[in-house]
């Protein structure tokens, strides 16, 4: 009988009851039976297995007994510094480009417990975005534990919740009450709390929230069994906008199949990105090393690069020029933003399924609405590239860059097209631009190495590969680099070293 409870808890909540926790759970079940005046654990099991309000209410009672809600503000400083210095600036920049009038940014704290994580994110955003009042900022905290959610909504915290937080920050964002601190109204209004069970694919409470740009799910999977983590990951992936990020606890995703994500490794944390794009797959004679997705290296200080003068691009400066194509969305298109996003996601899915003509039909409809969207132009470029229409692919790729010159992927696409067309100089030029934007983009060095080899410039080829080796040496050897191919850092390193030896 008891195993039945363990199994049911796992299926319903994802929570894994470890053998050492079994006696405590048994006692909790007995206590619940007594309180509910049930004759036996079997009757309690039946109650949990039923559908309807009574069963749901009992699950709520049980969940607050078996979940761990420990949380505090700005938990894991390293991850918060990656958020502050890398991910959020990128997302903020991207969203500004997409809708300069009133940018939107949506963040999801999944398994938010009593709300410390969600409020920390709201505080961080208001620190990072000077004009945040002109943004549509939403942070949604979700949890399976309604009691924790209620506490989160109230927004009162004791000193222990601020164990790592600077006093000035507490005074700036909280009001002192008798014994606690209350989150300020202006931060609280950015945050919503809702019930959501991560292992259930459908989230009726969450549907109006649609897609998010960043999902944070930390210290939740540690309590889950493997299959539940797998299910939750699928859900999170589907909830992320293309280009959106997931941050999880440091070892919480160990052993999971993460190939659908692009992995970025920073010294403080690994992060997982839903790819904005696939890549064109040009037929290459060079070894596999020239077809990797961009990988951002953890090293913060760029290694010195020896680049030719045209690589220092005045046009891609720290303050990017405004996109040329930025008519107000409302002037040109009556589709709601959520619907546009959903159509683009559908087209992206068709693209990933290699249904290029169908994907093209969908994006063409959107293009007719004159939407100045980076994602749309870039996706159109990739579709054309995969259909072999290099000219429109190149045109749409260039227009995507006009809309957002700071995203590296289109430069790779244009580099591949240029190479297909036999224009090696142009291909090198785009790869150098990619390096300018992301000095640690491994694939750019690998690809430049092979282009220089093609041109017989072995000195430069070696330089590129040496940089690639330095970048790779800072990665965990078993980290996967390319989605689909299951290649590890160690394998790529071996290939590049071999190249160096042979030249």
Q: Could you tell me where the DSSP H helices lie in 17-142? A: 22-35, 41-49, 53-66, 77-82, 88-98, 116-128
Q: Which is nearer to ligand SAM, 149 or 451 (CB)?
A: 149
User: Which range of residues in 193-201, 278-286, 451-459, 487-495 is near ligand SAM by CB under 6 A?
Assistant: 193-201
Q: Which is nearer to ligand SAM, 143 or 438 (CB)?
A: 143
Q: Which is nearer to ligand SAM, 112 or 296 (CB)?
A: 112
Distance in Å, CB of 273 to ligand SAM, minimum: 20
**272 pairs with which residues across the strands?**
246, 263
| Contact flag: residue 13 with ligand SAM (CB under 6 A) | yes
Q: Which is nearer to ligand SAM, 67 or 443 (CB)?
A: 67
**DSSP states of 428-479 as a string?**
HHHHHHHHHH-TT-HHHHHHHHHHHHHTT-HHHHHHHHHHHHHHHHTS-TT-
Helix (H, G, I), strand (E, B) or coil at 166: coil
| Contact flag: residue 70 with ligand SAM (CB under 6 A) | yes
Strand pairing report for 191-195 and 136-143: parallel
User: Which range of residues in 113-121, 160-168, 294-302, 369-377 is near ligand SAM by CB under 6 A?
Assistant: 113-121
Distance in Å, CB of 360 to ligand SAM, minimum: 39
**193 pairs with which residues across the strands?**
141
Q: Which is nearer to ligand SAM, 197 or 262 (CB)?
A: 197
List binders of ligand SAM among 289-308 (CB under 6 A). none
C-alpha–C-alpha distance, residues 433 and 418, integer Å = 14
Q: Which is nearer to ligand SAM, 248 or 441 (CB)?
A: 248
DSSP H or E run through 272: strand 270-273
Distance in Å, CB of 122 to ligand SAM, minimum: 14
List binders of ligand SAM among 143-162 (CB under 6 A). 143-145, 148
Contact 471, 324 (CB under 8 A): no
Return the residue of 16, 25, 29, 67 that touches ligand SAM, per CB under 6 A: 67
Binding mask 337-376 vs ligand SAM (x if CB under 6 A, - otherwise)?
A: ----------------------------------------
C-alpha–C-alpha distance, residues 403 and 148, integer Å = 42
| Contact flag: residue 71 with ligand SAM (CB under 6 A) | yes
Helix (H, G, I), strand (E, B) or coil at 179: coil
Helix (H, G, I), strand (E, B) or coil at 353: coil
List binders of ligand SAM among 194-233 (CB under 6 A). 197-199, 218-220
- Which residues have C-beta within 8 Å of that of residue 31, sequence separation ≥ 6? none
| Contact flag: residue 117 with ligand SAM (CB under 6 A) | yes
Helix (H, G, I), strand (E, B) or coil at 104: strand
Q: Given the rule CB under 6 A, which residues bind ligand SAM?
A: 13-15, 67-71, 75, 111-113, 116-117, 143-145, 148, 197-199, 218-220
């Amino acid at each position: 009988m008891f195993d039945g409870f363990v199994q049911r808890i796992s299926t319903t909540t994802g929570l894994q009851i470890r053998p050492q926790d079994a006696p405590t759970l048994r006692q909790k079940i007995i206590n619940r039976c007594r309180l509910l005046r049930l004759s036996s654990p079997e009757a309690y099991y039946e109650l949990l297995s039923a559908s309807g309000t009574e069963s749901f209410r009992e699950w709520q009672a049980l969940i607050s007994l078996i979940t761990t809600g420990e949380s505090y503000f700005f938990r894991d400083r390293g991850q918060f510094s990656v958020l502050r210095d890398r991910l959020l600036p990128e997302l903020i920049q991207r969203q500004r480009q997409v809708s300069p009038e009133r940018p939107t940014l949506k963040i999801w704290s999944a398994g938010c417990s009593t709300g410390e994580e969600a409020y920390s994110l709201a505080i961080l955003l208001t620190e990072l975005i000077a004009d945040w009042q002109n943004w549509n900022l939403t942070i949604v905290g979700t949890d399976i534990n309604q009691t924790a959610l209620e506490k989160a909504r109230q927004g009162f915290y004791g000193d222990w919740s601020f164990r790592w937080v600077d006093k000035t920050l507490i005074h700036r964002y909280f009001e002192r009450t008798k014994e606690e601190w209350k989150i300020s109204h202006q931060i609280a209004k950015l945050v919503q709390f809702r019930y959501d069970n991560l292992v259930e694919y459908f989230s009726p409470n969450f549907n109006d929230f649609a897609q998010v740009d960043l999902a944070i799910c930390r210290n939740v999977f540690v309590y889950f069994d493997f299959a539940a983590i797998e299910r939750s990951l699928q859900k999170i992936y589907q909830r992320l906008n293309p280009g959106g990020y997931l941050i999880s606890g440091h070892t919480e995703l160990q052993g999971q199949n993460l190939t659908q994500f692009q992995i970025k490794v920073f010294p403080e944390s690994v992060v997982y990105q839903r790819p904005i794009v696939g890549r064109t797959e040009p037929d290459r004679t060079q070894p596999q090393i020239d077809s990797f997705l961009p990988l951002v290296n953890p090293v913060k200080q760029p290694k010195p690069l020896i680049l030719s003068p045209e690589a220092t691009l005045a046009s891609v400066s720290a303050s990017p020029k405004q996109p040329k194509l930025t008519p107000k969305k409302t002037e040109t298109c009556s589709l709601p933003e959520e619907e546009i996003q959903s159509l683009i996601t559908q087209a992206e899915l068709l693209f990933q399924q290699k249904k290029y003509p169908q994907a093209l039909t969908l994006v063409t409809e959107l293009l007719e609405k004159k939407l100045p969207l980076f994602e749309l132009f870039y996706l159109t470029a990739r579709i054309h590239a995969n259909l072999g229409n290099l000219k429109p692919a190149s045109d749409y790729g260039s227009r995507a860059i006009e809309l957002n010159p700071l995203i590296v992927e289109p430069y790779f696409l244009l580099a591949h097209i240029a190479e297909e067309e036999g224009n090696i100089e142009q291909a090198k030029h785009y790869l150098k631009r990619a390096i300018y934007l992301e000095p640690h983009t491994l694939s750019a060095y690998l690809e430049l190495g092979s282009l220089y080899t093609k041109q017989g410039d072995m000195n430069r080829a070696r330089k590129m590969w040496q940089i690639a080796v330095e970048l790779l040496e800072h990665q965990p050897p078993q980290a996967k680099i390319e989605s689909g191919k299951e290649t590890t850092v160690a394998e790529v390193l071996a290939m590049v070293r071999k190249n160096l030896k042979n030249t």
